[in-house]
Amino acid sequence: MEIEELYQEVILDHSRRPRNFGELPDAAVLVHGDNPACGDEIHLAVKFDAGGGLEDIKFTGSGCAISQASASLMTMKLKGKSRSEAMEMLRAFHDLVTNDAGEAPKALGDLRVMKGVQHFPQRVKCAMLPWRAVEQAFEQGAGETTVSTEPT
Partner 1 sequence: MRGADYGVHKVADTTVDWKSLREDFPILREQAHGHPLIYFDSAATSQKPRAVIEALRNFYEHENANVHRGLHTLSSRATEAYEKARKRVAEYIGAPSADEIIFTRGTTESINLVAQAWGGKFIREGDVILLTEMEHHSNLVPWQLLAERTGARLRFVPVLDDGTLDLAHLPKLLTQEVKLFAFTHISNSLGTINPVAELCEKAHAVGALALVDAAQSVGHLTLNVGELGCDFMAFSGHKMCGPTGIGALYARKEILDSIPPWHGGGEMIVSVALEKSTFKKAPHRFEAGTPNIAGAIGLAAAIDYLDGIGRAAIFQHDLQLARYACDRLTELPRTRVFGPAEERGALVGFVMDAAHPHDLTTFADQYGLALRGGHHCNQPLMRRFGVSGTTRASFYFYNTKEEIDRMIEILHKAARFFK
Q: Which residues bind partner 1 (CB under 8 A)?
A: 1-3, 6-7, 12, 37-41, 62-66, 120, 122-123, 126
Residue whose CB is less far from partner 1, 68 or 75:
68
**Residue 70 C-beta: closest distance to partner 1, Å:** 13
* CA nearest neighbour of 57 among 87, 22, 18: 22
**Residue 138 C-beta: closest distance to partner 1, Å:** 27
DSSP state at residue 120: -
Contacts of 54 (CB under 8 A, 6+ apart): 46, 47, 48, 78, 79, 80, 81, 82, 86
**Residue 117 C-beta: closest distance to partner 1, Å:** 10
Residue whose CB is less far from partner 1, 46 or 126:
126
**Residue 28 C-beta: closest distance to partner 1, Å:** 28
Q: How far apart are CA 72 and CA 111, in angstroms?
A: 10
**Residue 3 C-beta: closest distance to partner 1, Å:** 4
Residue whose CB is less far from partner 1, 64 or 76:
64
Contact 75, 25 (CB under 8 A): no
Residue whose CB is less far from partner 1, 28 or 65:
65
Q: How far apart are CA 8 and CA 150, in angstroms?
A: 27
Strand pairing report for 40-48 and 54-62? antiparallel
Residue whose CB is less far from partner 1, 6 or 114:
6
